[in-house]
Structure 1
Amino acid sequence: MNHVNLIGKMCSTPKIVELDNGKRIAKFSMSTNEMVLTAEGTSKKKTQWHRMTAWGKWARVLEELGFCGMELAVEGKLITRFYNSNGQRKCVSEVEINDLVIL
């Protein structure tokens, strides 16, 4: 099963890209935080950054309402894609949003 749930903040204003076929995609980064226990017994905040993509109605919602710092809960799936850059094969993973809630 490929299922991702995240609650965090948008780290960038969504970039809207219109494809040749007329479909629109919103791309942005999102951060999530968790508290971890250090070896010394104290708690420390650990931040992760995620690449996010949204299609269709969610791209429209994020285009109209999305801003850096907005808190979101998202549900989606992990997508990995490959591309060539300067003769080297590169890999990028991102969360493709199926549903979201603005918090």
Structure 2
Amino acid sequence: MRVQQMNHVNLIGQMSTDPTFLEVEGGKKVARFSLSTKESYLDEQGNTKSLKNWHKVTAWGKWVPVLEQLGAKGQALAIEGRLRSRFYKKNGERKSFTEIEINDLVIL
């Protein structure tokens, strides 16, 4: 039986950094920033605890000019996208990181 696979992420949070903008090969522009999300849960004693996460986010195409105009640290966003893992070598050692690549974005 073949299973349909999916790589889909939805997050609502705040930009924890100002976006940085780079021009890559072929004149394409990319925006990168960090998005923080907070979740709450009850511990074993019934106390409410919160957990904060930071996510690396990358935006291409039509979202770059939007972020150039409206993106700033503290801005609330809803994003929809997919996970991307990237690999590189540093000092001969293989390194990796995972980021969220935006498909859709709503400024809140």
TM-score by length of 2: 0.93
* Corresponding residue number in structure 2 for 1:92: 97
Aligned partner (choices 21, 29, 37) of residue 34 of structure 2:
29
Bigger radius of gyration among the two = 2
Over aligned residue pairs, what C-alpha RMSD do you find?
0.6
Cα distance, 1:20 vs structure 2 = 2.6
Question: For structure 2, which runs of at least 5 residues remain unmatched after alignment?
Answer: 1-5
Q: Deviations over 1:54-83 (max 9, x none)?
A: 001101100111000000000000000111
User: Structure 2 matches for 1:9-88, cutoff 5 A?
Assistant: 9-88=14-93
Letter in 2 for 1:100: L
Distance in 2, matches of 1:64 and 1:31, equals: 20
2:10 and 2:64 mapped to 1: Cα distance?
18
Give the length in aligned residue pairs.
Answer: 103
Amino acid at match of 2:41: V
Query: Structure 1 residue runs of 4+, over 4 Å off?
Result: none
